[in-house]
Amino acid sequence: MRRVGWLALPLWLTYAFLYLPIVVLVVMSFNASKTPYAWKGFSLQWYRELMSDDLIRQGFINTLIVAVGATVLATALGTLLAIGINRYVHSALVEAYSLAPAIIPDLALAIGLLATFALVGVTLGLHTVLLAHVVFGMAFVAAVVLARLGHQDQSLEEASRDLGAGPISTFWRITVPGLMPAIVAGALLVFTLSLDEFVIAYFTDGPSTPTLPIVIYSMVRFGVTPEINALAALLLLVSFTVVISAQRITKLTDAL
């Protein structure tokens, strides 16, 4: 125990640094004061105001539409892509190319997509945000599924074929069930990423359908209200619940 002693110091420092702002935010969301900084007593009024805020509700609906759509598309494309790379392509270059959208700076991707949509003449809106979110989402799903495929014993599929199952039946009965934890982990990953994504949405969204992060951005930028504290606390709750349950269901760390 004594040996861990001094090594524990940076650990505690990091955790304090990571969690102090979050704790402050959550505490302040129950603040009765009109300014979002100074404590004046316990109140739930900001949560009530939040519930009746149409802009936020609409933003949340928009975000959900994008996140669900992007998750479905990205999960399907990313899973197929991973299997294709692992089984048929065997090229490090193609693999790197497929995973690149996860690493490319979001701002570069955002302006590139804006320029492309403008050139083709597509009206900006939720559909363009969705298309944009699929491209990095797919890379994340592919990465998680590829990691799993790396561990998976390919002889299982060969055994299935040897026992008389056709390629399609083998795919559905052996390959997909074996990959399920990774696919679910990837899907949850994309969903959370899309839910919170701001930069790309900011550039590829139309003015009439702001997603929740865009709404938050303008709120924070043009006038701070304690309402944001309440919203922040709720969003933190949602994110943490999704991630922790994903962790429990799929052992996310193993898949990554």
Partner 1 sequence: MTTTSIGSGRGAARRRALIGRAAFAGPGLVYVTAFMTVPLLLIATYTVLTRGRFGGVKWEFTLGNFAKALDPTYLSILGNSLLIAGITTVLALLLGYPTAYGISRLPRQWQAVAIVMVVLPFWSNFLIRTYAWIVLLNSEGPINSALVSLGVIGAPLDLLYNRGAVIAGLLYAYLPLVILPVYAAIERVDPQLQEAARNLGASKARTFWDVTLPLTLPGTMIGAIFVFVPSMGNFVVPELLGGGKTVMVGNLIRDQFLEARNWPFGAVLALSVVAFLVLLFALQAMVARRINSAGPRA
d(C-alpha 252, C-alpha 256), whole Å: 6
Residue 7 lies near partner 1 (rule: CB under 8 A): yes
Among 147, 184, 196, 225, binds partner 1 (CB under 8 A): 196
User: Binders of partner 1 among 234-253, rule CB under 8 A?
Assistant: 235-236, 239-240, 242-244, 247, 253
Residue 221 lies near partner 1 (rule: CB under 8 A): yes
Return the bridge partners of 31, or none. Answer: 42
**From residue 162, how far is each of 3, 134, 155, 156, 158 by CA, in Å?**
54, 37, 10, 10, 6
User: Binders of partner 1 among 103-142, rule CB under 8 A?
Assistant: 103-109, 111-116, 118-119, 131-132, 134-135, 138-139, 142
DSSP reduced 3-state for 30: coil
By beta-carbon proximity to partner 1, the closer residue of 154 and 239 is: 239
- Supply the minimum distance, in Å, between the C-beta of residue 72 and partner 1: 14
- Supply the minimum distance, in Å, between the C-beta of residue 153 and partner 1: 19
- Supply the minimum distance, in Å, between the C-beta of residue 88 and partner 1: 4
Among 81, 126, 187, 230, binds partner 1 (CB under 8 A): 81
- Supply the minimum distance, in Å, between the C-beta of residue 54 and partner 1: 20
Core vs surface per residue 202-214: b (16+ CB within 10 A) or e? bbbbeeebbbbbb
d(C-alpha 123, C-alpha 223), whole Å: 30
By beta-carbon proximity to partner 1, the closer residue of 65 and 89 is: 89
CB-based contact 62:97 (threshold 8 Å)? no
- Supply the minimum distance, in Å, between the C-beta of residue 83 and partner 1: 5
Residue 14 lies near partner 1 (rule: CB under 8 A): yes
CB-based contact 49:231 (threshold 8 Å)? no
Half-sphere exposure of 74 (CA within 13 A, CB side): 36
Q: State the angle between helix axes of 126-151 and 54-84 in degrees (0 to 180), rounded to the nearest 10.
A: 40
User: Binders of partner 1 among 15-44, rule CB under 8 A?
Assistant: 15, 17-22, 24-25, 28, 35-38
CB-based contact 63:53 (threshold 8 Å)? no
Residue 47 lies near partner 1 (rule: CB under 8 A): no
- Supply the minimum distance, in Å, between the C-beta of residue 63 and partner 1: 10
Length of the chain: 256
